């Protein structure tokens, strides 16, 4: 991933301040947090994943409709495999999801001085578990058996404490780490301590990760306008599906079930993250920087 523009840190800080104001004034309960998180993730978070088809077209020869359908089948097959794994072994699936989420999110700081890449990835998962262990355990219990949920919450909190100590140590002992990445991660740890886990995740995922990934990817892709059109179309389908899901949860009942919404959001993200990570890994290995894929295509390579 290319070096990140400064405006992304400013935007992340502004979104974090707004979320803190919202939390102080509204103090949303779990149901309201979930009802806000689902559409926010669909509208602001998932469009960066909607670029996966244009990315695949840039890195593999997906000639014609048959080639594109083959990619879609493989992509959805991998996602379905994650869902099946979660149904058969939810405890293992939760641990695996947390692990590869740290790896995936750490790429937001891939150009940062060591060890800030890894402290950033750990903070995205470890900060909520460190500061809100009971709430995180409850959320994990919606996704896995109680024993696995407790183990995952404890292990994640330990990882968070280690990551926080390493971050502070880096700030004190390594002057070269005191840059934009440090500011972003200071904000991350701050909102991890001040915001409930679901609000924290929404702010990070929508206010930094998705925007950063989308901006870096769209600038490296050839046929930018077409890629944006595909992303807009797929995002529209995702938003409609999210609206249908929320309405279906509220019709004919006293209210939506937290467990169902948590499972839909996080198991869905887990399923899509696996093929997304594989694709992004291939994309990054080929692009290596802004504009490289455009150069490759224009030169016929």
The reply to whether 276 sits in an annotated binding site is no
Tokens read off for 243:
């609206």
SS3 string, the chain, reads CCCCCHHHHHHHHHHHHHHHHHHHHHCCCHHHHHHHHHHHHHHHHHHHHHHHHHHHHHHCCCCHHHHHHHHHHHHHHHHHHHHHHHHHCHHHHHHHHHHHHHHHHHHHHCCCCCCHHHHHHHHHHHHHHHHCHHHHHHHHHCCCCHHHHHHHHHHHHHHHHHHHHHHHHHHHHCHHHCCHHHHHHHHHHHHHHHCCHHHHHHHHHHHHHHHHHHHHHHHHCCCHHHHHHHHHHHHHHHHHHHHHHHHHHHCCCCCCCHHHHHHHHHHHHHHHHHHHHHHHHHHHHHHCCCCHHHHHHHCCC
The reply to whether 209 sits in an annotated binding site is yes
Task: From 214, 187, 158, select the one nearest 11 (Cα to Cα).
Answer: 187
Residue with tokens 């839909």: 264
Binding site: which residues? 48, 104, 209, 213
Binding site for Fe cation: which residues? 48, 104, 209, 213
């Amino acid at each position: 991933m290319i070096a990140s523009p400064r405006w992304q840190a400013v935007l992340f800080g502004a979104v974090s301040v707004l979320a803190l104001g919202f939390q102080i004034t509204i103090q949303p309960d779990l149901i309201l947090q979930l009802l806000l998180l689902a559409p926010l993730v669909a509208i602001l978070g998932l469009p960066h994943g909607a670029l996966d088809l244009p990315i695949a077209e840039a890195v593999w020869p997906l000639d014609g409709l048959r080639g594109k359908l083959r990619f879609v089948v493989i992509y959805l097959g991998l996602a379905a495999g994650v869902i099946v794994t979660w149904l058969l072994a939810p405890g293992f699936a939760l641990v695996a999801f947390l692990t590869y989420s740290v790896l995936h999110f750490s790429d937001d700081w891939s150009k940062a001085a060591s060890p800030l890449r890894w402290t950033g990835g750990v903070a995205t998962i470890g900060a909520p578990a460190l500061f809100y262990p009971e709430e995180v355990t409850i959320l994990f219990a919606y996704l896995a058996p109680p024993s696995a949920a407790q183990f995952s919450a404890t292990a994640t909190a330990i990882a968070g404490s280690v990551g926080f100590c390493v971050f502070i140590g880096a700030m004190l002992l390594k002057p070269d780490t005191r840059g934009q990445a440090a500011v972003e991660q200071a904000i991350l740890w701050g909102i991890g301590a001040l915001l409930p886990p679901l609000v924290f995740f929404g702010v990070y995922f929508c206010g930094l990760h998705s925007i950063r990934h989308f901006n870096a990817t769209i600038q490296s892709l050839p046929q930018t306008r077409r890629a944006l059109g595909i992303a807009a179309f797929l995002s529209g389908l995702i938003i409609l599906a999210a609206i249908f899901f929320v309405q279906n949860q509220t019709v004919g009942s006293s209210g939506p079930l937290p467990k169902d919404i948590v499972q839909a959001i996080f198991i869905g993200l887990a399923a899509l993250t696996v093929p997304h990570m594989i694709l992004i890994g291939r994309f990054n290995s080929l692009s290596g920087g802004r504009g490289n894929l455009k150069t490759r295509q224009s030169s016929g390579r």
